[in-house]
Amino acid sequence: MHWDHIIRNGKIVTPHEIYEADIYIQNGKIAAISQAMLEGTAEVETDASGRYVLPGLMDTHVHSRDPGATHKEDFYHSTRAAAAGGITTIFEMPNTSPPLNNVENFHKQAANLQEKAHVNFGLWGICLGSLNLNDLQGLNEAGVIGFKYFWGYAINKKTFQLVYNYTPDMNDVIPPCHDGEVYEMFEEVSKTGKVFAIHAENNNLINLLTERVKQSGRTDYDALVEGRPNLAEELTVQTGISFAKTTGARLHILHVSTAEAVELIGCAQREGLPITAETCPQYLFLTNQDYEKIGTAMKIYPLVKFQKDQDRIWNGISEGVITVVCSDHAPHTEEEKNGDLWSVPAGSCGVETLVPLMLDAVSKNKLSLQQAAALLSENPAKQYGIYPQKGALQVGSDADITIVDMEKEAEIKKEHLHSKTKVSAFDGFKVKGMPVATIVGGKVVMKDGHIVSGPVGTLVTPNK
């Protein structure tokens, strides 16, 4: 027998067990897993001695800005960064230019990204209220991973782009949807059976409180938080849960940042409602106290908040309330992030630092390596309907594999990141535990921190 690739001597990690075995790959699939050496030769052999072999890790929340603001990031660079960080599959967010709001734009985007993809990718569809309510079923059939609604954001009438920090005096802008329009979106998405994911911030409250704080003249980070408080997330999560309860929609709360949201989501789950949640490293490793050291690179929406929130989010992971951790990768240039706190854009690099930070959490006993495999691979694969094609180390699954060295220590340095622009809130963080190989469809894309392959990723759609 001649195998395409054999991974030898590694410790295989799944959410359910850790054991030593070799993995045999043929035609992009896992063909065999054996503790005894099988006969045959291989085109490529990887020695994973002393290292852990995980099902290919995923980042379900990435803004590559392609097409659109490609001076900040593009898909070629974001997927190189993903591969460098041990990620084998990303889900690309739909607020591009043009947005992914109909079937035609779905196919255009799939073709645009395919030639640049160093890792596999799924595509989110966007919900724009009445502007594309009738397009959602077509997007579902085309193969979107799920649907995203940026709750509380206005829309440019000409470009359909999101408008941040909406005020009524803006020209050529469609105001944020009212609750009746949001309810209709819940109804329509529920018919597809796919996830309805929401950016949960209450725009009316934020506008009122932000204006009050600005009038005080304060420019400190806690002033910014007073303008976008925990209540803004709490209100929207509560409304979303109520809508999901009535419509049957599979609600997913994006980038949970508050203790209040964790409590609400946990209660809804115990009631048996189909509510899921994710969080991001910024809410797990940073608090408002870090702003003085990190600066505007830490400005991300929803905002990083307080220690009590971080503690409750970690508990939410332990309790199984939060089942996915992702990055919300959304780069801006150094120039754009260099300004006063009120005016600089929100967002930062994250796809390359997600896995190292979570592995460091394993090293610090905040969670187990098996929990990390669940949060970053099996759970999202199951949630978005691509398991066991992805998220599994099983015979027949795609040969997407992340190999990690839990003894390897490193310092995150923004100048070493592979993104087009490199602003990171985690610049200078020291970590223990690093991805050392990223294998996509059996092909080695990253080895020992170096990208060793061109684009090999393919579009991922939910299992029919």
Instruction: Give the CA count within 13 Å in the CB-facing half-sphere of 357.
Output: 24
Concatenate the DSSP letters of all residues of 236-259 into one string. HHHHHHHHHHHH--EEEE-S---H
Residue at 392 is within a domain? no
132 Rama class: left (phi>0) / alpha (psi -120 to 50) / beta: alpha
C-alpha distance from residue 102 to each of 138, 151, 464 (Å): 7, 19, 20
Residue at 398 is within a domain? no
Q: Which uninterrupted H or E stretch holds 73?
A: none
Residue at 207 is within a domain? yes
Task: Decide if 404 contacts 363 (C-beta within 8 A).
Answer: no
> Per residue in 100-112, pLDDT tens?
999 999 999 999 9
Residue at 21 is within a domain? no
Distance (Å, rounded) from C-alpha 88 to C-alpha 161?
A: 29
Residue at 373 is within a domain? yes
Residue at 333 is within a domain? yes
Distance (Å, rounded) from C-alpha 198 to C-alpha 186?
A: 11
* Domains contained in the chain, number: 1
CATH code, 272: 3.20.20.140
Residue at 254 is within a domain? yes
Task: Decide if 149 contacts 182 (C-beta within 8 A).
Answer: yes
Residue for token pair 């645009």: 112
Q: Domain containing 217: what range?
A: 57-387+410-429
> Per residue in 355-401, pLDDT tens?
999 999 999 999 999 999 999 999 999 999 999 999 999 999 999 99
Backbone φ and ψ of 343, nearest 5°:
-100, -25
Q: What pLDDT was estimated at residue 464?
A: 54
pLDDT tens for the chain, 464 residues: list them: 899 999 999 999 999 999 999 999 999 999 999 999 999 999 999 999 999 999 999 999 999 999 999 999 999 999 999 999 999 999 999 999 999 999 999 999 999 999 999 999 999 999 999 999 999 999 999 999 999 999 988 888 877 777 877 778 888 888 889 999 999 999 999 999 999 999 999 999 999 999 999 999 999 999 999 999 999 999 999 999 999 999 999 999 999 999 999 999 999 999 999 999 999 999 999 999 999 999 999 999 999 999 999 999 999 999 999 999 999 999 999 999 999 999 999 999 999 999 999 999 999 999 999 999 999 999 999 999 999 999 999 999 999 999 999 999 999 999 999 999 999 999 999 999 999 999 999 999 999 999 999 999 999 999 75
Residue at 229 is within a domain? yes
Distance (Å, rounded) from C-alpha 441 to C-alpha 390?
A: 10
Q: What pLDDT was estimated at residue 181?
A: 95
Q: What pLDDT was estimated at residue 174?
A: 83
Q: What pLDDT was estimated at residue 152?
A: 84
